[in-house]
């Protein structure tokens, strides 16, 4: 049974949406400051500490390298929310790249499973989603004790599509290791991830494991995770996977009494609680992904993207100090609320820089450039989707409309919904 027919995705926008249920009745804008010439030693900041370093990277702007909260509020701008306990956070406009406010944006902290965004952005272009792989025992070697798993079994065959559902929905480290094996192994995959982080100018990031499992020297930052998410959201498959609420995943093949083999499936649900909701926590209006994480060392981490009234924001929150249920999501929602109210009323404190190889010459904004890190054959075929990059562009404005979603048996009709993330990396002052 093809999993693609069983997936349920959150709409990527709820702009002027009509729901139809079948079963329910004053300073100049900052320019990017100088970046560090080289990455600091990964081991120097591998574990979070109570105090941010006095000197941090200035990629994206000088203010972003300062400790503490950075915000430049206009006279009518709302104050930055009180009670945010995260060690590091950032609020940015996904389309323009403007950073509206930030707190210790470049503090290098353990990322937990938010690092899977870099894994996905690196590997998605390398395989077609209908490719199949039979899992060998060595594919699952090295999966950390206590890891989140989707339930992959040895000697069973899975499509690449199945495996990506396991990565995005269940944060399955087993799915990550299988895809890594398909990519030449964990060592090769980590090297590819670090090279891609360098290309994205995510210079705070150093991957040691492909899945975000705690490892000495494995770090990222709120700024970098936001850069990585923004890069991933340029990919159609990435957007679709990170917005999927629930899906059917292949189970074990068993032999019946008549000797005939059959394979069952089971439902998996996204662990992003702003997407699915949870006890005492509603799903966030306009949410469309991206990725959550939680380990003993990293605490809770989360990067989310949401749209409201035609504006798309990215928020990353790392390691809230308050130890309350769903605290990382509550703080993210609070920062989203602030960002949507504050947009247009604050002076940006920095910007999300483009990849090193990005075309910022201001050509046709309707089609995306080839993704950094993609192999020549993957770029030509459109990567995981099997379509050309140009064919994946939807509309001159670079948006993707979701006209129909099926959520838990309830038909939801979305009229005019558009999720917009720049297909080309923006030039300052140019709305694409």
Q: CA 432 to CA 427: how far, in whole Å?
A: 9
Q: Alpha carbon of 366 to those of 149, 360, 370, 374: distances in Å?
A: 39, 13, 13, 20
Burial of 262 by CB count in 10 Å (0-12 exposed, 13-18 middle, 19+ buried)? exposed
Q: CA 222 to CA 299: how far, in whole Å?
A: 14
Spatial CB neighbours of 367, under 8 Å, sequence gap ≥ 6: 389, 390, 393, 423, 424
Residue for token digits 């190889």? 357
Spatial CB neighbours of 319, under 8 Å, sequence gap ≥ 6: 48, 86, 87, 88, 109, 298, 299, 300, 301
Q: How many CA atoms lie within 13 A of 41 on its CB side?
A: 3
Q: Which of 13, 96, 116, 235 is catalytic?
A: 116
Spatial CB neighbours of 94, under 8 Å, sequence gap ≥ 6: 230, 233, 305, 312, 313, 314, 421, 422
Nearest C-alpha neighbor of 334 from the set 152, 91, 39? 91
Helices 222-232, 116-123: inter-axial angle, 10-degree rounding? 30
Structure tokens at 314: 């990215």
Q: CA 387 to CA 42: how far, in whole Å?
A: 38
Say if CB 219 and CB 48 are below 8 A apart.
no
Q: Which of 45, 88, 113, 231 is catalytic?
A: 113
The full length of the chain comes to: 432
Does the annotation mark 334 as catalytic?
Answer: no
Say if CB 430 and CB 29 are below 8 A apart.
no
Does the annotation mark 171 as catalytic?
Answer: yes
Say if CB 430 and CB 95 are below 8 A apart.
no
Could you give the 3-state DSSP secondary structure of residue 259?
A: coil
Q: Which of 88, 96, 171, 180 is catalytic?
A: 171
Spatial CB neighbours of 219, under 8 Å, sequence gap ≥ 6: 42, 45, 46, 108, 109, 110, 111, 204, 205, 206
Say if CB 166 and CB 177 are below 8 A apart.
no
- Catalytic positions, please? 113, 116, 171
């Amino acid at each position: 049974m093809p999993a693609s027919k069983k997936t349920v995705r959150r709409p990527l926008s709820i702009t002027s949406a009509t729901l139809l249920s079948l079963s329910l009745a004053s300073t100049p804008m900052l320019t990017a400051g100088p970046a560090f010439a080289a990455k600091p030693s990964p081991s120097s900041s591998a574990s979070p500490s109570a105090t941010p370093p006095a000197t941090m990277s200035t990629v994206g702007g000088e203010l972003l390298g300062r400790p503490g909260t950075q915000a430049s509020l206009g006279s009518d701008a709302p104050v930055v929310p009180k009670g945010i306990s995260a060690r590091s956070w950032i609020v940015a406009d996904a389309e323009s790249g403007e950073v509206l406010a930030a707190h210790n944006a470049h503090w290098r902290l353990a990322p937990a499973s938010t690092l899977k965004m870099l894994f996905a952005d690196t590997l998605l272009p390398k395989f077609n989603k209908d490719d199949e792989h039979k899992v060998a025992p060595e594919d699952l070697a090295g999966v950390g004790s206590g890891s989140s798993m989707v339930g992959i079994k040895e000697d069973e065959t899975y499509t690449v599509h199945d495996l990506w559902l396991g990565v995005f929905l269940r944060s399955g480290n087993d799915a990550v290791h299988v895809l890594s094996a398909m990519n030449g192994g964990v060592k090769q995959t980590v090297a590819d991830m670090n090279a891609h982080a360098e290309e994205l100018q995510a210079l705070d990031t150093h991957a040691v494991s492909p899945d975000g499992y705690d490892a000495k020297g494995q770090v990222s930052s709120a700024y970098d995770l936001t850069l990585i998410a923004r890069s991933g959201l340029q990919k159609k498959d990435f957007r679709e996977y990170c917005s999927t609420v629930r899906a059917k995943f292949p189970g074990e093949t068993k032999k019946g009494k008549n000797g005939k083999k059959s394979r069952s499936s089971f439902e998996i649900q996204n662990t992003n609680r702003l997407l699915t909701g949870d006890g005492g926590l509603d799903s966030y209006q306009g949410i469309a992904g991206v990725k959550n994480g939680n380990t003993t060392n990293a605490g809770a981490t989360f990067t989310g993207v949401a749209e409201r009234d035609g504006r798309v924001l990215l928020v990353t929150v790392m390691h809230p100090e308050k130890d309350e249920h769903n605290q990382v999501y509550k703080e993210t929602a609070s920062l989203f609320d602030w960002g949507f109210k504050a947009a247009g009323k604050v002076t940006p404190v920095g910007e999300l820089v483009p990849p090193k190889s990005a075309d910022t010459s201001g050509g046709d904004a309707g089609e995306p450039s080839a993704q950094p890190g993609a192999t020549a054959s993957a770029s030509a075929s459109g990567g995981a989707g099997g379509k050309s990059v140009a064919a994946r562009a939807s509309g001159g404005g670079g948006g993707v409309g979701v006209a129909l979603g099926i959520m838990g048996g309830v038909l939801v009709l979305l009229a005019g919904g558009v999720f917009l993330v720049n297909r080309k990396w923006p030039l300052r002052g140019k709305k694409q």
